[in-house]
């Protein structure tokens, strides 16, 4: 997570900004504008001004949109039957799925209060740093509306056009989101019952994050673009990466919970990690199919995505407090790095895993010159990140003193970063 910012932004993405394609949805300079105001009577009273007007949590920078080449617009529509037989089987029927309630005290049971007391006794031993990681992971899960929206912006026949589309891709996205929805739900309820966190601050963070979306305004002067450009190749590569990242992170919080004596919480995190692994397998399979059909474009898309840096989807998180502000994600990332919940070495490991999973080094047939350069780039990336990570660790060790910062989620207590 802390590696965002290590690599330069994609030059091609910035070039694309100078000439938005006609289908980008941007209004032409002298195109007519139809607004609700045009139907209002001239003497209608102005709407009352709210006392404290809503403002967007983050400025929205210019964005690169709809870069999928025309000849690839129907690729996913043509794979609909394949997805039905090869991707939908990764989903679990609802009746066979775990539900959050399976892991929580039953509020309709006479033993509810005893179960809550036991849960709180176990959670009493969880260190603050661990709680910060758990809250950050939960907030990330709770921003699911953003991720489903992202998938439904993708071109190429992927998006759920109506919210109830019958294509295999739309069926997958809805059912995937329905499975994912249990993750934030379970973690949220569990954390609430522990009594260890400031739930109002956590809830504000979720509201800010969903309102922010996934745009990455790291440096508005340089115009960082959003991650996926509506290109399903980029979108599915990004999602594969994220599913593996969350699998690693939840797996590590499970191990830590067990070490801190909370076996029930370890089961919660482990159960969620298993879902992430299954989702990762499905998305990796989709990208593997793209590598089979279209190795050159898929390889170049992989390199483009890696050059952009894979920003964590929750990097815009904030809680609105005076102390945390927009540095909240950096603090959460630093704690996760220090505790080994999700580290720069994990980031490098994911790249290496995906390079191997998709057989990138062995690709030969059908590669253009640019494809070969992309191959060289992604194959060298994992080791490069590892070297950067080692140097960063050495620098931190040489610095000696560890920084700490207050985090509102745990009632403003200081946590080592």
Query: Is 115 assigned to a binding site?
Result: no
Please name the residues in contact with 86: beta carbons below 8 A apart, sequence gap of 6 or more.
285, 289
| Residue spans of alpha helices (H) in 195-262 | 199-212, 232-259
| 276 assigned ligand-binding residue | yes
According to the binding rule CB under 5 A, does residue 174 interact with Fe ion?
A: no
CA distances from 221 to 13, 225, 244, 310, 327 (A): 14, 11, 32, 20, 19
* Residue 193-232 contact track with Fe ion, rule CB under 5 A, x = bound: ----------------------------------------
Residue 364, annotated as binding a ligand: no
Tally Cβ neighbours within 10 Å of residue 93.
7
Q: Which stretch binds Fe ion (CB under 5 A): 12-20, 21-29, 251-259, 274-282?
A: 274-282
Interacting span for Fe ion (CB under 5 A) from 83-91, 111-119, 178-186, 309-317: 178-186
Asked whether position 142 contacts Fe ion by CB under 5 A, the answer is no
* Active-site residue (options: 103, 183, 250, 315): 183
Binding of residue 180 to Fe ion (CB under 5 A): yes
Shortest CA distance to 360 belongs to which of 389, 381, 386, 385?
Answer: 381
Bridge partners of 414, per DSSP, are 406
Q: Is 180 annotated as a binding residue?
A: yes
**Taking contact as CB under 5 A, which single stretch among the options 88-96, 241-249, 291-299, 330-338 is the one that binds Fe ion?**
241-249
- Contact call for residues 358 and 288 (beta carbons, < 8 A): yes
CB of residue 267 vs Fe ion: minimum separation in angstroms?
16
Q: Nearest residue by C-beta to Fe ion?
A: 183
Q: Which H or E element spans position 12?
A: helix 11-17
Site mask for Fe ion (CB under 5 A), range 117-136, x = bound: --------------------
Distance of CA 220 to the CA centre of its chain: 21
Give dist(CA 298, CA 281) in Å, integer. Answer: 17
Q: Tell me whether strands 413-416 and 404-407 are parallel, antiparallel or unpaired.
A: antiparallel
Q: Is 246 a catalytic residue?
A: yes
| CB 326, CB 393: distance < 8 Å | no
The CA angle 219-230-179, to the nearest 5 degrees, is 100
The token duo for 330 is: 């950096």
Q: 197 with 191: CB under 8 angstroms?
A: yes
Of 160, 179, 185, 276, the residue at the interface with Fe ion (CB under 5 A) is 276
82 catalytically annotated: no
Is 115 a known active-site residue? no
Interface size with Fe ion, residues (CB under 5 A): 7
The correct pick among 174, 183, 244, 315 for binding Fe ion (CB under 5 A) is 183
Active site residues: 98, 141, 180, 183, 243, 246, 275-276, 279
Q: Which residues bind Fe ion (CB under 5 A)?
A: 141, 180, 183, 243, 246, 276, 279
Query: Which residues line the annotated binding site for Fe cation?
Result: 141, 180, 183, 243, 276, 279
Query: Which residues line the annotated binding site?
Result: 141, 180, 183, 243, 276, 279
């Amino acid at each position: 997570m802390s590696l965002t910012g290590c690599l330069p932004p994609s030059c091609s993405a910035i070039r694309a900004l100078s000439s938005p394609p006609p289908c980008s949805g941007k209004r032409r300079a002298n195109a007519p504008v139809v607004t609700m105001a045009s139907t209002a009577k001239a003497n209608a009273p102005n709407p009352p001004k709210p006392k404290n007007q809503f403002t967007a949590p983050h400025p929205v920078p210019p964005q690169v949109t709809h870069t999928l080449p025309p000849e690839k617009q129907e690729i996913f529509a043509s794979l609909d039957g394949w997805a039905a037989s090869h991707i939908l089987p990764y989903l679990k029927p609802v009746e066979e799925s775990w539900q959050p309630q399976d892991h929580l005290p039953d509020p309709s049971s006479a033993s509810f209060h005893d179960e809550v007391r036991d849960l709180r006794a176990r959670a009493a031993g969880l260190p603050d740093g661990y709680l910060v990681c758990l809250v950050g992971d939960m907030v990330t899960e709770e921003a699911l509306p953003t991720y489903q929206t992202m998938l439904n912006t993708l071109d190429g026949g992927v998006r759920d056009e109506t919210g109830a589309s019958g294509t295999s891709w739309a069926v997958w996205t809805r059912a995937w989101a329905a499975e994912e929805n249990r993750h934030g739900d379970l973690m949220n309820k569990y954390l609430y019952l522990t009594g260890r966190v400031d739930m109002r601050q956590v809830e504000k963070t979720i509201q800010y994050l969903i309102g922010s979306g996934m745009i990455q305004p790291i440096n508005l002067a340089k115009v960082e673009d959003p991650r996926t450009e509506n290109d399903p190749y980029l979108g599915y590569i990004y999602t594969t990466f994220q599913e593996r990242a969350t699998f690693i992170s939840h797996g590590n919080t499970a191990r830590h919970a067990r070490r801190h004596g909370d076996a029930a919480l370890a089961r919660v995190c482990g159960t969620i990690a298993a879902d992430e692994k299954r989702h990762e397998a499905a998305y990796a399979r989709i990208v593997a199919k793209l590598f089979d059909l279209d190795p050159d474009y898929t390889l170049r898309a992989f390199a483009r995505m890696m050059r952009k840096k894979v920003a964590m989807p929750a990097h815009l998180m904030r809680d609105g407090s005076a102390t945390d502000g927009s540095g909240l994600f950096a603090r959460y990332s630093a704690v996760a790095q220090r505790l080994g919940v999700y580290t720069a070495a994990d980031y490098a490991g994911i790249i290496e895993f995906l390079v191997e999973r998709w057989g990138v080094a062995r690709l030969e047939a059908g590669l253009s010159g640019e494809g070969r350069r992309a191959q060289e780039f992604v194959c060298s990336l994992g080791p490069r990140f590892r070297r950067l990570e080692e140097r960063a660790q050495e620098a931190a060790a040489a610095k000696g003193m560890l920084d700490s910062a207050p985090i509102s989620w745990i009632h403003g207590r200081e946590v080592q970063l």
